Amino acid sequence: MTTKQIFSLDGRYLGNDASKLTKGIYIIGKKKVVIK
């Protein structure tokens, strides 16, 4: 399994653990994702 890097919209690296993300829009694995 490959780990996908998570970035905020302003380009800051946030790690690999999507379970710790708050509500918002992120770039995960080269795709924009909305966390509700």
Q: What pLDDT score does 12 carry?
A: 98
Q: What is the C-alpha to C-alpha distance for residues 23 and 3, in angstroms, rounded to an integer?
A: 21
pLDDT in tens, 1-36: 468 999 999 999 999 998 999 999 999 999 999 999
pLDDT at 3 (0 to 100): 80
pTM attached to this predicted model: 0.80
Angstrom distances, CA of residue 25 to CA of 6, 8, 31, 35: 11, 7, 10, 6
